[in-house]
Structure 1
């Protein structure tokens, strides 16, 4: 259940950086780089948490495999969403 927190936190830095910077196509931007770093840290934490819990014996290895595979599916879905809806004409100020 702790992994659900990461599922809700993952898109937040990307949404913030897209709203503040406009797009990822420009030259290196500190806000974009920070948000990519934070997103990567959240994804790695979400995948590593079940592995650490299985290593300590808190959860079973089968549960760890199911949670990790589910996390991969969820994060690939989020990534696919941002690839499909990567429309630069979308105005985020309406949010």
Structure 2
């Protein structure tokens, strides 16, 4: 696939990018190379390859789920201007 300079300008317009006229030919060549590489990758048969989220088969290291802070709800609600039934009351912002 070979991109024309007009197609490069169209792509730039869609991406809201400004392209200098003296660099448009280089962009066309580079984008053509990228699209050719994508076509080459799409041609590879990957039907026997299992999908993976990461190239290394490692287990995620997780920290233990332990409570590290004390409950300070009463303290925080005592400082709040309006509280009702354990909830903070705020002015209505949506009509």
TM bucket, shorter chain:
0.3 to 0.5
More helix, by proportion: 1
Give TM-score scaled by structure 2 length: 0.35
After TM superposition, the score normalised by the length of structure 1 is: 0.35
Higher relative contact order (CA 8 A, sep 6+): 1
Structure with bigger strand share is: 2
Q: Which has the larger radius of gyration?
A: 2
